[in-house]
Amino acid sequence: MENILWQHIQHLKNSVPLIHNITNYVVMNNTANALLAAGASPIMAHAQSEIEDMVTICQALVVNIGTLDEYWSMSMINAAKKANELGKPWILDPVGAGATSYRNEIIAKLLELKPTIIRANASEIMALAKVSNLPTKGVDSTAKSNEAIEAAKLLTKEFASVVCISGETDIILGKDQKLSLKNGNALMAKVTGLGCSASAITAAFAAIIEDKFEATSAAMALMGVCGEIAAKNSAGPGSLQLNLLDKLYNITENEFITHLKIGE
Amino acid sequence: MENILWQHIQHLKNSVPLIHNITNYVVMNNTANALLAAGASPIMAHAQSEIEDMVTICQALVVNIGTLDEYWSMSMINAAKKANELGKPWILDPVGAGATSYRNEIIAKLLELKPTIIRANASEIMALAKVSNLPTKGVDSTAKSNEAIEAAKLLTKEFASVVCISGETDIILGKDQKLSLKNGNALMAKVTGLGCSASAITAAFAAIIEDKFEATSAAMALMGVCGEIAAKNSAGPGSLQLNLLDKLYNITENEFITHLKIGE
Amino acid sequence: MENILWQHIQHLKNSVPLIHNITNYVVMNNTANALLAAGASPIMAHAQSEIEDMVTICQALVVNIGTLDEYWSMSMINAAKKANELGKPWILDPVGAGATSYRNEIIAKLLELKPTIIRANASEIMALAKVSNLPTKGVDSTAKSNEAIEAAKLLTKEFASVVCISGETDIILGKDQKLSLKNGNALMAKVTGLGCSASAITAAFAAIIEDKFEATSAAMALMGVCGEIAAKNSAGPGSLQLNLLDKLYNITENEFITHLKIGE
């Protein structure tokens, strides 16, 4: 598995896929930089007058609802529809799922469009299952990844999506597949938007790898390993943000293979 | 005083309050990272469809008008009303007060809603007093903190707000209280949005400390001391931005106490 | 020439012109920081209710269409009209020219307003000539700077603009002038928005230098030399972003003169 994931990472750097991001204001700069560092080419665009045209020229789409509003939500929905029409992969990052009824309403509409991949933390995954009226237990804002597995499985079944629950352990669930990754560092939670970067990099791999379970696994492995190495050399979250971008750019096969921790 | 302020800083790290930011596009990433580094949890949201719900789940609100427009202004006003209704503290950062008549018009509406705390530079504070038809002298774009004290006192009286004039010296004014802080470094003016970060961190302290004068003082002391230490190790403004985030995260009691400069 | 450019760089630091940016969400923070580091003072504002007032108080305007939409496009057009009315220089950065028909439509409207300076990469310059129905060959997304010279010359003639084609070699074209600059480093393409920063810094020089060909040359020389020096000390794109801001702030005459590479 390690070798397959590393090959995917190399493949990304050689492919430079164009990734269309409809994402939140907080993370746009870091998301663009993370995509560039990992080897993809980012586009950020949201105007209703060009959203379908942008989906058409890109190879994958990220829909991240962090700072959604009425206008942007319509763009997200139209973009996801266009991606489906063209058979292009699109990734849903349901930031703040469960926080407000408006957010849940938009999430419900996006889920109906069957995201290729969903990446979120445990609480958000549990909120998604609830929004979709799937028979799951309630949302727990302090939930750990393994507490959300039941909800993630329901989502995988209902929407045919690959689901990634990110956290101290990242759990990736496909139709009949499951992978746990145990990389990362607690300091990563002190930098805003690393989850958003992970979603964007997931889109980059999904753009070039047919198997979306493997694409998601490669993205989460790359982010986890680079974040872990970067954190070791960081005095705080400011340094970590910089070191992570550097490491996404210059990680070697040896670093990747020796640090990767695949769980049960 | 030093010890009380340090206790508040520790208290923030242990409390992790949820802070709702309606702020400008330029600083969103750094504001979120500054809040995380200091120990709070940031939310950025502005949609009219969820703005009251977001105020409801957060413990304090920041209204920063830096890149305001007609839609966002309405969100800011609705959020401030909701915060008042729920008795939650909210901080006004009137970026660019006095620059345009539209900006002044929105500021006047926000001031009517009696911000818990106002944090701004000397020129902006003087512009605020003028906007409110308070009997103060004209706006001076190069004003120093002590030149704005008269205007700040009028604002404190008129709106029952704690007022912080930030600059080379930070001056915090409560109903019958006044504190001067003389930390910081000239290089901080070469990094965009450190004032905006200070406002957000003020909201974080206001969320957990009953006495808003002390809350504001703790925020300005933390930013000033961390900025001063960070600047000493910085070759320029790029380094300073990184080092400041690291220092907000890893500052020790000894560093804080030995660097803090409380004025007359 | 080296000495004139360095004098302009010193002049900028002493003048601190106020630069109005209507730019994209991705780069706002870095653009503001680059302007501050180089010695200018940035304002970001886009509200239709204040856009003309902001143009009035600033010394130059940047219009960058990276994340344009219907509302922002109107603000851009109104701001450019106001700048023309007041005789203030404005810079067009046509990010993504040619990508969608909507983007081309807005670009056509902006070109009609005769930007003082246009700064873009080779593909965008070729797309601009095509949008304007100038008799040029088709757009090539991998075009190098010298392949876009014909298109740039046509733009210079048609709109009386100074045109800068940025890339591995930066080429600046005036009415009867041409300058090639060969600084920079390939790593710069891995950091988002350095072109956008270059456009903003071009506006800063245009605000204080009568000769817009020299103003553009000074901006591109400063960015190219600082980027090249910064890249040498950078382990990856994260470090480069930081080191570039530091170098824009602390570059010395000796560093500038010894690194500057002026072409044929």
If you write DSSP's letter for every residue of A32-45 in order, what string do you get?
HHHHHHHT-EEEE-
| Ranges B113-117, B144-148, C59-63, C103-107: which has the least confidence | B144-148
Nearest CA in chain A to B44: A67
Nearest CA in chain C to A245: C238
Structure-token pair, residue A69: 């509003």
For A170-195, write each residue's pLDDT tens digit: 999 999 999 999 999 999 999 999 99
Domain extent listing, chain A: 2-259
C52: which residues sit within 8 A by CB, 6+ positions away?
C78, C79, C82
- Collapsing DSSP to helix, strand or coil, B158 comes out as helix
Residues of C in contact with B65 (CB under 8 A): none
Find, among A85, A86, A45, A31, the residue nearest to A203 by Cα.
A31
The closest CB to that of B237, out of C25, C36, C46, belongs to C36
* Pairing of the two strands B60-64 and A18-22: unpaired
Cβ count within 10 A of residue B1? 11
For B186-209, write each residue's pLDDT tens digit: 999 999 999 999 999 999 999 999
Nearest CA in chain A to B45: A67
Q: Give the pLDDT mean for B98-120.
A: 97
A to C CB pairs, distance under 8 Å: 88
B119 is in an annotated binding site: yes
Residues of A in contact with B251 (CB under 8 A): none
B169: which residues sit within 8 A by CB, 6+ positions away?
B144, B145, B146, B180, B181, B182, B263
The closest CB to that of B29, out of A26, A68, A101, belongs to A26
Compute the distance between CA of residue A88 and CA of residue A81 in angstroms, rounded to an integer: 10
For B44-60, write each residue's pLDDT tens digit: 999 999 999 999 999 99
> Containing H/E element for C121?
strand C117-121
Residues of C in contact with B69 (CB under 8 A): 46-49, 71
- Inspect the interface and report whether the beta carbons of A245 and C238 lie closer than 8 Å: yes
- Inspect the interface and report whether the beta carbons of A191 and B48 lie closer than 8 Å: no
Given the structure tokens 């205007």, which residue do they identify? B151
> Does the interface ipTM go beyond 0.90?
yes
Contact at 8 Å (CB) between B18 and B187? Answer: no
Mutate which of C25, C27, C30, C31 to disrupt the A interface (most A C-beta within 10 Å)? C25
Determine the topology of domain A2-259 in CATH.
UDP-N-acetylmuramoyl-L-alanine:D-glutamate ligase (3.40.1190)
Find, among B256, A173, A242, the residue nearest to C236 by Cα.
A242
Residues of B in contact with C245 (CB under 8 A): 236-238, 241
DSSP state of B35: H
Cβ count within 10 A of residue B78? 15
> Containing H/E element for A80?
helix A70-86
B193 is in an annotated binding site: yes
Q: Give the pLDDT mean for C3-27.
A: 97
| Ranges A43-47, A70-74, A204-208, C130-134: which has the least confidence | C130-134
> Containing H/E element for A17?
none
- Inspect the interface and report whether the beta carbons of C70 and A47 lie closer than 8 Å: yes
Q: Give the pLDDT mean for C208-223.
A: 98
Instruction: Give DSSP secondary structure letters for B174-193.
Output: -SS-EEEE----GGGGGSTT
DSSP state of B48: T
Query: How close C100 gets to chain A, by Cα (Å)?
Result: 6
Query: How close C255 gets to chain A, by Cα (Å)?
Result: 25
Chains that touch A (3 or more CB pairs under 8 A): B, C
Give backbone dihedrals phi and psi of A90, rounded to 5 degrees, phi first. Answer: -140, 145
Residue A167 pLDDT exceeds 90: yes
Contact at 8 Å (CB) between C127 and C242? Answer: no
Determine the pLDDT at residue A139: 62
